[in-house]
Protein backbone atom coordinates (compact mmCIF):
# COMPACT_ATOMS: atom_id res chain seq x y z
CA UNK A 1 0.00 0.00 0.00
CA UNK A 2 3.00 2.36 0.32
CA UNK A 3 3.01 3.34 -3.41
CA UNK A 4 -0.72 4.06 -3.18
CA UNK A 5 -0.26 6.22 -0.08
CA UNK A 6 2.74 8.00 -1.61
CA UNK A 7 0.80 8.80 -4.78
CA UNK A 8 -2.21 10.06 -2.83
CA UNK A 9 0.02 12.18 -0.59
CA UNK A 10 1.92 13.61 -3.56
CA UNK A 11 -1.23 14.56 -5.47
CA UNK A 12 -2.84 16.11 -2.39
CA UNK A 13 0.27 18.17 -1.64
CA UNK A 14 0.42 19.37 -5.24
CA UNK A 15 -3.26 20.28 -5.19
CA UNK A 16 -2.92 22.18 -1.92
CA UNK A 17 0.23 24.04 -2.99
CA UNK A 18 -1.01 24.92 -6.45
CA UNK A 19 -4.65 25.29 -5.41
CA UNK A 20 -5.83 25.29 -9.01
CA UNK A 21 -8.46 22.57 -9.17
CA UNK A 22 -9.86 23.30 -5.71
CA UNK A 23 -10.23 27.05 -6.26
CA UNK A 24 -11.47 26.62 -9.82
CA UNK A 25 -14.20 24.10 -9.00
CA UNK A 26 -15.42 25.80 -5.83
CA UNK A 27 -15.22 29.28 -7.35
CA UNK A 28 -17.18 28.21 -10.43
CA UNK A 29 -19.76 26.46 -8.22
CA UNK A 30 -20.39 29.42 -5.92
CA UNK A 31 -20.09 32.26 -8.43
CA UNK A 32 -22.21 30.62 -11.13
CA UNK A 33 -24.83 29.56 -8.59
CA UNK A 34 -25.00 33.11 -7.26
CA UNK A 35 -25.40 34.56 -10.75
CA UNK A 36 -28.18 32.10 -11.59
CA UNK A 37 -29.93 32.90 -8.31
CA UNK A 38 -29.75 36.62 -9.08
CA UNK A 39 -30.99 35.98 -12.60
CA UNK A 40 -34.04 34.05 -11.41
CA UNK A 41 -35.11 36.98 -9.26
CA UNK A 42 -36.28 37.34 -5.66
CA UNK A 43 -39.26 34.96 -5.84
CA UNK A 44 -38.66 32.47 -2.95
CA UNK A 45 -40.96 29.76 -4.29
CA UNK A 46 -39.27 29.76 -7.71
CA UNK A 47 -35.80 29.67 -6.20
CA UNK A 48 -36.62 26.81 -3.83
CA UNK A 49 -38.28 24.79 -6.60
CA UNK A 50 -35.36 25.21 -8.99
CA UNK A 51 -32.64 24.75 -6.36
CA UNK A 52 -32.11 20.94 -6.37
CA UNK A 53 -31.69 20.64 -10.13
CA UNK A 54 -29.60 23.78 -10.51
CA UNK A 55 -27.24 22.97 -7.64
CA UNK A 56 -26.67 19.46 -8.91
CA UNK A 57 -26.08 20.58 -12.50
CA UNK A 58 -23.52 23.06 -11.18
CA UNK A 59 -21.88 20.23 -9.21
CA UNK A 60 -21.65 18.11 -12.38
CA UNK A 61 -20.05 20.92 -14.36
CA UNK A 62 -17.68 21.84 -11.51
CA UNK A 63 -16.52 18.23 -11.28
CA UNK A 64 -15.72 18.22 -14.99
CA UNK A 65 -13.41 21.23 -14.76
CA UNK A 66 -10.44 19.32 -13.32
CA UNK A 67 -11.09 15.92 -14.84
CA UNK A 68 -9.10 16.38 -18.02
CA UNK A 69 -5.91 16.82 -15.97
CA UNK A 70 -6.51 13.75 -13.79
CA UNK A 71 -3.96 11.61 -15.66
CA UNK A 72 -2.67 14.08 -18.25
CA UNK A 73 0.26 15.47 -16.26
CA UNK A 74 1.44 11.98 -15.33
CA UNK A 75 1.14 10.91 -18.96
CA UNK A 76 3.19 13.87 -20.18
CA UNK A 77 6.07 13.53 -17.69
CA UNK A 78 6.30 9.73 -17.84
CA UNK A 79 4.98 9.10 -14.33
CA UNK A 80 2.14 7.04 -15.76
CA UNK A 81 4.59 4.47 -17.11
CA UNK A 82 6.22 4.20 -13.68
CA UNK A 83 2.78 3.71 -12.13
CA UNK A 84 2.10 0.86 -14.55
CA UNK A 85 5.43 -0.77 -13.57
CA UNK A 86 4.86 -0.27 -9.84
CA UNK A 87 4.49 -3.19 -7.45
CA UNK A 88 1.04 -1.88 -6.56
CA UNK A 89 -1.85 -2.77 -8.91
CA UNK A 90 -2.53 0.01 -11.38
CA UNK A 91 -6.22 -0.05 -10.45
CA UNK A 92 -5.33 0.87 -6.84
CA UNK A 93 -3.14 3.73 -8.01
CA UNK A 94 -5.96 4.92 -10.24
CA UNK A 95 -8.32 4.75 -7.26
CA UNK A 96 -5.88 6.88 -5.26
CA UNK A 97 -5.88 9.56 -7.97
CA UNK A 98 -9.69 9.47 -8.18
CA UNK A 99 -9.85 9.82 -4.40
CA UNK A 100 -7.56 12.83 -4.61
CA UNK A 101 -9.83 14.35 -7.26
CA UNK A 102 -12.84 13.90 -4.97
CA UNK A 103 -11.02 15.34 -1.94
CA UNK A 104 -10.00 18.45 -3.90
CA UNK A 105 -13.22 18.85 -5.91
CA UNK A 106 -16.18 16.90 -4.53
CA UNK A 107 -15.55 17.58 -0.85
CA UNK A 108 -15.20 21.36 -1.31
CA UNK A 109 -18.44 21.33 -3.30
CA UNK A 110 -20.20 19.64 -0.38
CA UNK A 111 -18.79 22.22 2.02
CA UNK A 112 -19.91 25.04 -0.27
CA UNK A 113 -23.43 23.68 -0.76
CA UNK A 114 -24.95 25.41 2.34
CA UNK A 115 -24.05 28.78 0.79
CA UNK A 116 -26.07 28.05 -2.34
CA UNK A 117 -28.85 26.44 -0.29
CA UNK A 118 -29.14 29.65 1.73
CA UNK A 119 -29.20 31.71 -1.45
CA UNK A 120 -31.97 29.57 -2.97
CA UNK A 121 -33.99 29.47 0.25
CA UNK A 122 -33.91 25.72 0.91
CA UNK A 123 -35.26 24.56 4.25
CA UNK A 124 -32.95 22.93 6.79
CA UNK A 125 -34.46 19.47 6.20
CA UNK A 126 -34.02 19.81 2.45
CA UNK A 127 -30.45 20.99 2.98
CA UNK A 128 -29.53 17.87 4.95
CA UNK A 129 -30.93 15.64 2.21
CA UNK A 130 -29.08 17.68 -0.41
CA UNK A 131 -25.79 17.35 1.49
CA UNK A 132 -26.34 13.61 1.92
CA UNK A 133 -27.07 13.24 -1.79
CA UNK A 134 -23.88 15.19 -2.54
CA UNK A 135 -21.89 12.95 -0.20
CA UNK A 136 -23.17 9.86 -2.05
CA UNK A 137 -23.22 11.31 -5.55
CA UNK A 138 -19.98 13.26 -5.90
CA UNK A 139 -17.77 10.17 -5.37
CA UNK A 140 -19.71 8.51 -8.19
CA UNK A 141 -19.03 11.56 -10.38
CA UNK A 142 -15.28 11.32 -9.72
CA UNK A 143 -15.25 7.55 -10.34
CA UNK A 144 -17.19 7.76 -13.59
CA UNK A 145 -15.13 10.75 -14.65
CA UNK A 146 -11.97 8.77 -14.00
CA UNK A 147 -12.96 6.34 -16.76
CA UNK A 148 -13.48 9.20 -19.19
CA UNK A 149 -10.20 10.84 -18.19
CA UNK A 150 -8.33 7.58 -18.77
CA UNK A 151 -9.94 7.08 -22.18
CA UNK A 152 -9.02 10.58 -23.36
CA UNK A 153 -5.53 10.90 -21.84
CA UNK A 154 -2.99 11.99 -24.42
CA UNK A 155 -5.66 13.13 -26.86
CA UNK A 156 -5.26 16.68 -28.09
CA UNK A 157 -8.14 18.86 -26.88
CA UNK A 158 -9.56 15.86 -25.07
CA UNK A 159 -11.61 18.01 -22.68
CA UNK A 160 -14.53 18.28 -25.08
CA UNK A 161 -14.46 14.57 -25.86
CA UNK A 162 -14.27 13.84 -22.13
CA UNK A 163 -17.42 15.89 -21.53
CA UNK A 164 -19.27 14.09 -24.32
CA UNK A 165 -18.27 10.71 -22.87
CA UNK A 166 -18.96 11.44 -19.22
CA UNK A 167 -22.06 13.65 -19.14
CA UNK A 168 -24.48 10.94 -20.35
CA UNK A 169 -23.12 8.60 -17.65
CA UNK A 170 -23.81 11.28 -15.03
CA UNK A 171 -27.55 11.24 -15.78
CA UNK A 172 -28.52 8.48 -13.27
CA UNK A 173 -26.65 10.30 -10.47
CA UNK A 174 -28.43 13.54 -11.37
CA UNK A 175 -31.86 11.91 -11.49
CA UNK A 176 -31.57 10.05 -8.17
CA UNK A 177 -30.01 12.99 -6.33
CA UNK A 178 -32.55 15.58 -7.48
CA UNK A 179 -35.43 13.16 -6.85
CA UNK A 180 -34.24 12.67 -3.26
CA UNK A 181 -34.27 16.41 -2.52
CA UNK A 182 -37.61 16.92 -4.26
CA UNK A 183 -39.12 14.05 -2.27
CA UNK A 184 -37.93 15.67 0.96
CA UNK A 185 -39.40 19.00 -0.16
CA UNK A 186 -42.75 17.31 -0.77
CA UNK A 187 -42.70 15.70 2.67
CA UNK A 188 -42.05 12.22 1.26
CA UNK A 189 -39.42 9.66 2.19
CA UNK A 190 -36.16 10.33 0.35
CA UNK A 191 -34.57 7.04 1.44
CA UNK A 192 -35.35 5.01 -1.74
CA UNK A 193 -33.70 7.63 -3.95
CA UNK A 194 -30.68 7.87 -1.64
CA UNK A 195 -30.32 4.08 -1.67
CA UNK A 196 -30.35 4.08 -5.47
CA UNK A 197 -27.72 6.82 -5.38
CA UNK A 198 -25.60 4.77 -2.97
CA UNK A 199 -25.97 1.72 -5.23
CA UNK A 200 -24.81 3.77 -8.21
CA UNK A 201 -21.77 4.89 -6.26
CA UNK A 202 -20.92 1.32 -5.21
CA UNK A 203 -21.26 0.04 -8.79
CA UNK A 204 -18.98 2.84 -9.98
CA UNK A 205 -16.50 1.99 -7.21
CA UNK A 206 -16.43 -1.64 -8.32
CA UNK A 207 -16.03 -0.92 -12.02
CA UNK A 208 -14.25 2.42 -12.48
CA UNK A 209 -10.72 1.70 -11.13
CA UNK A 210 -10.28 -1.46 -13.22
CA UNK A 211 -11.85 0.12 -16.32
CA UNK A 212 -9.69 3.24 -16.04
CA UNK A 213 -6.56 1.14 -15.47
CA UNK A 214 -7.33 -0.92 -18.58
CA UNK A 215 -7.80 2.25 -20.64
CA UNK A 216 -4.48 3.65 -19.39
CA UNK A 217 -2.67 0.42 -20.30
CA UNK A 218 -4.05 0.73 -23.83
CA UNK A 219 -2.55 4.21 -24.13
CA UNK A 220 0.80 2.97 -22.80
CA UNK A 221 1.01 -0.09 -25.02
DSSP secondary structure string, 55-75? HHHHHHHHHHHTGGGTTHHHH
Contacts of 100 (CB under 8 A, 6+ apart): 8, 11, 12, 15
156 near 69, Cβ under 8 Å? no
210 or 49, which is more confident: 210
Per DSSP, the three-state class of 186 is coil
Q: How confident is the model at residue 19 (pLDDT cuts 50, 70, 90)?
A: low
Rounded CA gap, 114 and 43, in Å? 19
HSE-CB at 61 with a 13 A cutoff on CA atoms is 13
Query: What's the start-to-end Cα distance of the chain, in Å?
Result: 25
Burial 118-135 (b: 16+ CB within 10 A, else e): ebbbbeeebbebbbbbbb
Q: Over the stretch 126-143, which tens digit does the pLDDT of each residue have? A: 999 999 999 999 999 999
Over residues 63-73, the mean pLDDT reads 84
| Overall domain count for the chain | 1
What digits encode the pLDDT tens for the residues 188-211?
Answer: 999 999 999 999 999 999 999 999
| pTM confidence score | 0.91
Residue 221 has pLDDT above 90, yes or no: no
Cα separation, 219 vs 216, whole angstroms: 5
What pLDDT, on the 0 to 100 scale, is given for residue 20? 61
| 157 φψ region: left (φ > 0), alpha (ψ -120 to 50), beta (else) | left
Q: Cα 29–173–25 angle (5° rounding)?
A: 20
Q: What is the rounded average pLDDT for all residues in the chain?
A: 88
pLDDT at 180: 94
What is the span of the domain harbouring residue 180?
3-220
Q: Which of 98, 168, 183, 167 is nearest to 133 (CA)?
A: 183
Amino acid sequence: MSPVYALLRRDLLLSVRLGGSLALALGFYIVTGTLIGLGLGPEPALLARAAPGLIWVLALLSTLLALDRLFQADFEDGSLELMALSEAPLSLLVLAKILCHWLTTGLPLILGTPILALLFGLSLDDLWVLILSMALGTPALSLIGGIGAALTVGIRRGGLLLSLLVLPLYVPVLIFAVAAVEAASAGLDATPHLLLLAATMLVALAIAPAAAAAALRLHLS
